[in-house]
Amino acid sequence: MTTGLVETANGPRPGGVSQVALYPVATLVQKFGGTAVGDPDRIRAVADHVARTVRQGNQVVLVVSAMGKETDSLLRLADDVSSTHPGREMDMLITAGERKAMALMCMALHDLGIPADSFTGSQAGFLTDTEHRNAKILEVRPERVRAALDAGRIPVVGGSQGVSTDNDVTFLGRGGSDTTAVALAHALDADACELYTDVTGVFTTDPRVVPTAKRMDRISFDELLEMTATGCPKPAMRSVEYARTHGVRLHVRSAFTWQEGTWVDEEEPDMEQAIVSAVTYDTSEAKMTISGVPDQPGIAARVFRELAGSGINVDMIVQNVSTEGVTDISFTVPHDDLDRAMSTAGSLATEIGAGGVTSDSAIARVSVVGAGMRTNPGVAATMFETLAECGVNIQMISTSAIRVSCVVSGDRAEDAVKALHENFGLSCN
Ligand code: ADP
Ligand code: ASP
Ligand code: MG
């Protein structure tokens, strides 16, 4: 961060003496989520906040999502019109949401005397691969954004979009605006990337489920990555990965209260780590079981190679003890992929002489995350005891160095989250 002499927003004092104060001058990328720009009043409120930040001498680049739930509405509209959804046309449709929001935001800024220019992902220099609806960023060439900044204008960039190597408009996937913001912060060497949302930061668990959940002042990239991989919707997991890889400091905060939120950065080695920092849950996956699988080398490899070949992202995997030369293999897949996964696994089961394939959509994965787990034993035991005390049966278990996850029945997920949050001492008093 650089420091400079900046005139305060109050301007010259009465008596003609200019009030000059020492302010830290920062380059900030500020991203506003759907709720934060959900209606005309919200857009004006964001413009006002940006105007204040700029008048304090900071350089600001804005990234906006589509207003409110507009992305969902556009997806529904596509369903209503047609059952064929060519990727190219879907991306052209979905990115219209962000295009609307960025143009309106510029108008609101102009009203406040702040010159601003909107940029599509393509204009902002986001070059992506050709995988429509879920394109990956290959390169960011932010020349036009930088030029606007240098000219004293506020660049307002449409989130989650780019242009492919085939010159088509691409969408970076759901939640992709967070990734746009982080990638821009890296490309512009910004001091921080601020992600504004409808809660005041990252909480010890979903505040909608546990109202006594606490906002964290800071969290490490590793912990937040585990949280987002296991159900915490904010910020989008890809953006946290990008930020960790490139060392972009994140600040997750509220667009409604403007108070200091949660800072995300590297773990400080000398800091004592919380054993458990957060509890997460995820109801987006289903469980599949292939039963009576011949217990021979190469069979699991074949099953998961076929599933991967159908583009299915398999998650937790458990193989039972073999009896009489056969075993059961269970794993989780995203709900959206369940039908495809069932048909792939069904044909394979016949080929390899397995007993059959079953699925259960009503499951949830509850997880506890904490960097201090690396050095403190007993977290898994406490988790299992807590679930046992509330009569929640564990169907599958998986762990990483800083996480323990259990698959439980979906209708018990909230009870499990509440009990774990309480037993690990995370609630506010
Ligand atoms: P946006 O619309 O800003 O992109 P989302 O609606 O996708 O944001 O995500 C924000 C929501 O995530 C919050 O309203 C909150 O209820 C939920 N949430 C779940 N778990 C957590 C958590 N651990 N910390 C903060 N928010 C959480
Ligand atoms: N508007 C898109 C979505 O709802 C992208 C984003 O906001 O991150 O997923
Ligand atoms: Mg939201």
pTM over 0.85: yes
Token pair 């002042």 is at which residue?
217
Distance 236 CA to ligand 1 centre (A): 10
Task: List the residue whose alpha carbon is closest to atom 8 of ligand 2.
Answer: 175
Distance 131 CA to ligand 1 centre (A): 27
The string of pLDDT tens digits covering residues 324-378 is 889 999 999 999 999 999 999 999 999 999 999 999 999 999 999 999 898 888 9
Looking at the CA of residue 207, tell me the nearest atom of ligand 1.
16
Task: List the residue whose alpha carbon is closest to atom 8 of ligand 1.
Answer: 197
Region of 95 please: left (phi>0), alpha (psi -120 to 50) or beta.
alpha
Looking at the CA of residue 176, tell me the nearest atom of ligand 2.
8
Q: Is the pLDDT of residue 242 over 60?
A: yes
Tell whether ligand 2 has an atom less than 6 A from the beta carbon of residue 71: yes
Residue 295's alpha-carbon distances to 36, 118, 317, 321, 328, in angstroms, are: 53, 59, 16, 10, 9
Distance, in Å, from the CA atom of 256 to the CA atom of 196, rounded to the nearest integer, reads 9
Helices marked H in 56-195: 70-81, 87-111, 143-150, 176-187
Q: Is the pLDDT of residue 7 over 80?
A: no
Task: List the residue whose alpha carbon is closest to atom 7 of ligand 2.
Answer: 65
Looking at the CA of residue 278, tell me the nearest atom of ligand 1.
23
Which helix H or strand E contains 306, and what residues bound it?
helix 299-309
227 in Cβ contact with 202 (< 8 Å): yes
Looking at the CA of residue 179, tell me the nearest atom of ligand 2.
8
Distance 182 CA to ligand 2 centre (A): 14
CA 220 to chain CA centroid, nearest Å = 15
pLDDT confidence bin for 1, thresholds 50/70/90: very low
Percent of all residues in the chain with a pLDDT value above 90, rounded to a whole number: 85
Tell whether ligand 2 has an atom less than 6 A from the beta carbon of residue 175: yes
**Least confident interval from 19-28, 164-173, 270-279, 299-308:** 19-28
234 in Cβ contact with 225 (< 8 Å): no
- What average pLDDT score do residues 269-298 get? 90
* Residues lining ligand 1, Cβ inside 6 A: 33-35, 65, 197-199, 202-203, 205-208, 232-234, 278
Q: Is the pLDDT of residue 5 over 80?
A: no
Domain ranges of the chain: 2-198
Distance 115 CA to ligand 1 centre (A): 31
pLDDT of residue 322: 81
Mean pLDDT of the chain: 91
Percent of all residues in the chain with a pLDDT value above 70, rounded to a whole number: 93
Token pair 């429509």 is at which residue?
132
pLDDT confidence bin for 271, thresholds 50/70/90: low
Region of 378 please: left (phi>0), alpha (psi -120 to 50) or beta.
left
pLDDT of residue 175: 95
Looking at the CA of residue 33, tell me the nearest atom of ligand 2.
7
Residue type, 297: P
Distance 234 CA to ligand 1 centre (A): 5
pLDDT confidence bin for 22, thresholds 50/70/90: very low
Just give the CATH number of 2-198: 3.40.1160.10
pLDDT of residue 15: 28
pLDDT of residue 12: 31
Q: Is the pLDDT of residue 14 over 50?
A: no
Q: Is the pLDDT of residue 426 over 70?
A: yes
Looking at the CA of residue 177, tell me the nearest atom of ligand 1.
4
**Least confident interval from 8-22, 124-138, 270-284, 295-309:** 8-22
pLDDT confidence bin for 429, thresholds 50/70/90: low
The string of pLDDT tens digits covering residues 86-138 is 999 999 999 999 999 999 999 999 999 999 999 999 999 999 999 999 999 99
Tell whether ligand 2 has an atom less than 6 A from the beta carbon of residue 34: yes
The string of pLDDT tens digits covering residues 140-184 is 999 999 999 999 999 999 999 999 999 999 999 999 999 999 999
Distance, in Å, from the CA atom of 61 to the CA atom of 31, rounded to the nearest integer, reads 8
pLDDT of residue 270: 64
pLDDT of residue 272: 67
